[in-house]
Each structure stands twice: as structure tokens, then as C-alpha cells.
Amino acid sequence: MGITVAFVGHLIYLTNPLDYNWVVFSCFIRGVGFAPLNSVVFGFLGDVVEYAQWKFHLRIEGLIFSGGSVGTKVGSGLTAAVLTNLLAWAGYVSSATGNVEQPDSAIQMIINLYKYGPIFVWVVIMLILLAWKLEKIYPQIMNELAEREARGEL
């Protein structure tokens, strides 16, 4: 639901991308929609801990949560590298003084990244969430883990 609200917020932006107030309003709507995912993303990792214990009889919280942290850092780094290379390809001119006029190709790349980048990200997130089946079997997993614990098993 949240990603859908964020997507609608982006569609609001696309209807009038040159009006500053409209852009700020659309950013607010997108933020409200994206907040629920940001608040539960690491909760998914807790479910994976329970799944690993259920499936492999191993409780590896540290490995799973550190893997999530490393994945976040690697994903951020790769995203920054891709965006930087796209801007360089478009002719973006870096300047410490800010007195440089950007070529139209760089400006168009920035506009296109802002227009289409979020749509790409939200489609990927929606596909991942649609493929996420752990929530459906989670009650069964927890029942079986409780039974194992009662028997003194891992």
C-alpha cells in the first residue's frame, strides 16, 4: 500500500514537474507512502532469522542482520556509482565554485533520473514484495519452532 501511495505521489509530480510548490507537495505524498517500507524493512530480516532456524536448525541473527547492513551499503555504493557514471556520460561538469554552466545533456539527465528513477526503484520493490512468500508460512514456522523448543531442540 505504501509503495502505491508513493507511486501516486510521483504521478502527481509528473503532472506538473516545473511548479516548485507542486513538486514539494508530491515529495510529501511520496514520503508518506515510502515511510512504512522504511520502517519495516529490517523487520523482514527478523523473519529470515526465524526461517533459517526453522529450515536449517541454525539461529544466525548476527550473520543475517550484518548481511542486511552490508547489502544496504553495497547497494548505496553501486547506486552512487551508476548515477555518477550516467551524469558523467551526459557531460556533467563538476565545480567547487558553482560557477559552471551545465550542458543541456546533463540537465536533461538529471531531470530524467528524477522522473524515471523512482519509478524503476518502486517497480523493483513491488516485484520483490510480491515474491515475498515468507509471511504466508510464518505462523506455521513459529508453531513448529515453539514445538521444537518445548522438546529442547534448536
pLDDT digits (tens, 9 = 90+) for 22-75: 999 999 999 999 898 888 888 889 999 999 999 999 999 999 999 999 999 999
Report the predicted TM-score, pTM, of the whole model to 2 decimal places.
0.77
Eight-state DSSP code of residue 98: S
Contacts of 142 (CB under 8 A, 6+ apart): 50
Give the span between the Cα atoms of 60 and 4, in whole angstroms.
Answer: 33
Predicted local confidence at residue 38, as pLDDT? 83
Predicted local confidence at residue 99, as pLDDT? 83
Eight-state DSSP code of residue 97: S
**What are the tens digits of pLDDT across the range 94-143?**
887 778 899 999 999 999 999 999 888 888 888 988 898 998 999 999 99
Give the span between the Cα atoms of 123 and 4, in whole angstroms.
Answer: 10
